[in-house]
Structure 1
Amino acid sequence: MSARHLLTGAGSGIGRLLAERLAARGDELVLVARSAERAADLRAAVPTAEVLVADLADPASVEGLAGSLPDSLDSVVHAAGVVELGEVGELTAGAWQDTLAVNLVAPAVLTRIALPALRSARGTAVFVNSGSGLRANPHWAAYSASKHGLRALADALRAEEQERGVRVSSIYPGRVATAMQEEVHRQEGRDYDPGAWIDAGTVVDAILHVLDLPGDATLTDLTLRPR
């Protein structure tokens, strides 16, 4: 019997590659797209997947997925994220709200509505965090705050759900060669060399390892750094 996964962030980068790898091995996928246009793109890229539409920046939109989720999920993988750089003295309230909504509130809401299905399958919640979830650097306050919060969410969830059989893992990649990284370099005003950073496939390998871990252990935290 194939496993079933709920995945955000499959529009590009780590999430897209993970969706393709899971589909290629015959797993069932439920993907979340932020718009009907992105949903059409995902259906073309991963034809075997079920695609749901929800704007992760809008908690009510995420709540609206509750009636569309399957009864059993082997995993929920939170791979979506946004980043806006800026000094604390420059970041607007909108920048803070958008970053926290997508990077922290959406995973919290989606996890809550997916928990019955995760509990049913004794599944795994995977939070694709960041090195910024372990430390905060200049210009990264909003993003780091959202990722520090995501770490707290995962830690609390793990303690709460351990006796119900749900495993919870946080993965902390350093800079990964994705479209988001290219955008970060643009915001930093630096030239972008994808060869200098972690390949997205390496992070996907780590996520698959977490998903495929035997049931006798939980990999709670995994940090990846560019070589």
Structure 2
Amino acid sequence: MSIHLITGAGSGIGAAVARRLLDRGDELWLLARNAGRAKELADSFPGARTLVGDLAEPERLSWALGHQEPPDRLDSLLHVAGVVDLAPIGELTPKIWNQTLAANLVGPAELTRLVLPQLRLSRGHVVFVNSGAGLNAHAQWGAYAASKHGLKALADSLREEEHAAGVRVTSVFPGRTATPMQAKVHQQEGKPYDASRWIGPESVATAVLTALDLPRDAEINDLTIRPGA
């Protein structure tokens, strides 16, 4: 039985990944931003355990986890949580920049740092669910794309640094996926939302599990997923 720590399990891709892993009998630890959210996750995923820590406040993660009992070892750390706010560069305030970078980049970097000993012990796997915006930036997407480009750089550096320790690192770059975040994006864009046009969260979950389950003689570094015809 493998042990996984997942962020963003409350909805969308994170929920789909968590459900698949739980259904096959793996042990799940779910990161929640507060105690109320932790209870919701525990109710949604019976048998899973929770940790409370807010990625939007990365400077407090060490203190938060230090007052709890994280698992002694981890087979994977799955970064799925993220935030998005669309606006032209000329209208993005420092507050939006800081919130976006904290939740999408600095928080994941700090969480990774804190659990690297457990991952090294198990020769584990870090998966960053990135975005197509982590490869190409478009108008209105400046803050989000910058955070996701940074997340790719984080993954690439981590992969080289931890290769000798046997830790695998994968970046998954989904295109538009039918999630609550996508509904919010369409609202910000002023466009009607039709979930049937986009990738299903289950399809991205399949890609994540494919990377996790790959035999130890290979590693998927980068995996791009796009909506089908």
- Does residue 16 (structure 1) correspond to residue 15 (structure 2)? The answer is yes
Matches for 1:63-74 after TM superposition, within 5 Å: 63=62, 64-66=64-66, 68-74=69-75
Report what 2:39 is aligned to.
Answer: 40
CA drift of 1:222 comes to: 0.1
CA drift of 1:83 comes to: 0.1
Give structure 2 stretches of 5+ with no counterpart: none
Provide Cα deviations, 1:53-83, integer angstroms capped at 9, x if missing partner: 1111101332221453212100000000000
Report what 2:102 is aligned to.
Answer: 101
Instruction: Give the 3 Å change call, closer, same or farther, for CA 58–11 of structure 1 in structure 2.
Output: same
Report what 1:137 is aligned to.
Answer: 138
For residue 17 of structure 2, what is the amino acid of its counterpart? L
- Any conservation in 1 of the 2:51–2:70 contact (CA below 8 Å)? no
Say what the alpha-carbon RMSD is for the aligned residues.
Answer: 0.8
- Does residue 175 (structure 1) correspond to residue 176 (structure 2)? The answer is yes
Distance in 1 between the 2:147 and 2:114 partners? Answer: 20
Matches for 1:21-170 after TM superposition, within 5 Å: 21-63=20-62, 64-66=64-66, 68-170=69-171
How high is the TM-score relative to the length of structure 2? Answer: 0.97
> Percentage identity across aligned positions?
57
How high is the TM-score relative to the length of structure 1? Answer: 0.98
Report what 1:223 is aligned to.
Answer: 224
Provide Cα deviations, 1:131-175, integer angstroms capped at 9, x if missing partner: 000010000000000000000000000000000000000000000
Distance in 1 between the 2:34 and 2:191 partners? Answer: 31
The 3-state SS of whatever aligns with 2:110 is helix
Report what 1:203 is aligned to.
Answer: 204
Distance in 1 between the 2:112 and 2:125 partners? Answer: 11
For residue 65 of structure 1, what is the amino acid of its counterpart? L
Report runs of 4+ in structure 1 exceeding 3 Å deviation: none
- Counting matched residue pairs gives 226
Deviates more, 1:159-168 or 1:30-39: 30-39
Distance in 1 between the 2:217 and 2:85 partners? Answer: 39
The 3-state SS of whatever aligns with 1:137 is coil
Give structure 1 stretches of 5+ with no counterpart: none
CA drift of 1:106 comes to: 0.7
The 3-state SS of whatever aligns with 2:29 is strand
Distance in 2 between the 1:72 and 1:43 partners? Answer: 21
